[in-house]
Amino acid sequence: MNQVRIAIAGASGRMGRMLVETTLKSSDLVLVAAFEHPGSPFIGKDAGELAGLPCGVAITSDVAAGLAKADCLIDFTRPEATLRHLELARAACCGMVIGTTGFSAEGKAAIASAAEHIPVVFAPNMAVGMNAVFKLLDMAARILNEGYDVEIIEAHHRLKVDAPSGTALRMGEVVAGALGRDLESCAIYGREGVTGERDGQTIGFATVRGGDIVGDHTVLFAGIGERIEITHKSGSRMPYASGSLRAARFIAGRKAGLFDMQDVLGLR
């Protein structure tokens, strides 16, 4: 099997460095490009050196040139940067794995449109374990469909800019779908003051930001006399990187299509 040629956006960041390291340690993948924004102090530096594995691939801001030699771009940056990269990937006929969160409806529509021309894996969480949790939540919600209040609690590091996390929102979508509800109309994103009794049809979200928490997510089904909690905790960014590379392998050789990690893992 030919090696899959990987390009990585945001290569100097915490997630980017993990992606670079994991790619360099994979025998069936080859790092061919690494990107940072213009003006970054890391431009020109060896992408592998940042992960302790010099590889001869210099970080550049010329995304178009880098994508010309790549099979797949992996992007965990910001929505506005990801959408710019998406257009360049489409022009280069390069597949894309998108782990960025916080997209507007318009941004999600742009991703779907690009996927008509190139293969795209777009998921709020690339970790294999978290995607197993999504399946468990669907099952639990169908069983606990009466008499249980649903609350979603998530915690991340102090530098995360969007809230609730994309993973928490996806958890809410899974539970709401299993319960026959529309998350947009039943979600409660904050409580303060005299709120009155809880509406049993709502799904609550609570957000914690602090320190260097990689990512903790819990869905609480609270009934009378019992509570069921389904929790996923990330101790490092390695699960996200490993899942992303699994997604890159999945779209290798595909012409077009919009996929998520449930497709990659065969959980449909």
List active site positions. 156, 160
Torsion of CA 77, 79, 82, 88, to 10 degrees: -160
How far, in Å, CA of 151 to CA of 40, rounded?
40
C-alpha atoms less than 13 angstroms from C-alpha of 253 in its C-beta half-sphere: 5
Q: Which of 147, 145, 221, 135 is nearest to 180 (CA)?
A: 145
Q: In what order do the strands lie in the sheet with 29-35?
A: 59-60, 29-35, 4-8, 72-75, 95-98, 119-122, 257-259
DSSP annotation of 180 reads: T
Pairing of strands 4-8, 149-156: unpaired
Rounded to an integer, what distance in angstroms lies between the CA atom of residue 230 and that of residue 175? 12
CA distances to 153, 190, 196, 202 from 193, rounded to whole Å, are: 20, 10, 9, 18
Q: Dihedral sign, CA of 94, 98, 103, 106?
A: positive
CA dihedral of residues 24, 125, 163, 186 (deg, nearest 10)? 170
Taking alpha carbons only, the member of 69, 77, 20 closest to residue 49 is 20
